[in-house]
Amino acid sequence: AQRVTQPEKLLSVFKGAPVELKCNYSYSGSPELFWYVQYSRQRLQLLLRHISRESIKGFTADLNKGETSFHLKKPFAQEEDSAMYYCALRSGGYQKVTFGTGTKLQVIP
């Protein structure tokens, strides 16, 4: 069974400080990992995918298969980064995406 764990419900950082949102997963095959974000009063949207290996809004995430982690990082937090962040996993061959419970990022001005 696949599972996604986000250990922190809330992460508060000061503006300009580095951010790391933790995500660990359990899955025996080769998963596809995502980060989704939900800003206040907006719908859930894709932030980035591990396959793309891109940086979106200054965020990056590296898939570490040894540690089964996909942590989301940003070197300097901005107030507009305050939102709910969900890590998600899709197993090969299936459409089902399994989400973590989410971490609320609060950037303090």
Partner 1 sequence: DTGVSQDPRHKITKRGQNVTFRCDPISEHNRLYWYRQTLGQGPEFLTYFQNEAQLEKSRLLSDRFSAERPKGSFSTLEIQRTEQGDSAMYLCASRGVGGNTIYFGEGSWLTVV
Residues that bind partner 1 (CB under 8 A): 4, 9, 43-46, 49, 51, 86, 88, 94-102
CB of 99 to partner 1, least distance (A): 3
Specify the residue, 61 or 88, whose C-beta has the smaller distance to partner 1: 88
**What is the rounded CA–CA span in Å between residue 77 and residue 85?**
14
CB of 15 to partner 1, least distance (A): 26
Specify the residue, 11 or 44, whose C-beta has the smaller distance to partner 1: 44
DSSP annotation string for 26-78? E-SS-EEEEEEEE-TTS--EEEEETTTT--BTTBEE--BTTTTB--EEESS--
CB of 5 to partner 1, least distance (A): 11
* C-alpha 33 chain-centroid distance: 9
What DSSP state is assigned to residue 109? -
Specify the residue, 66 or 92, whose C-beta has the smaller distance to partner 1: 92
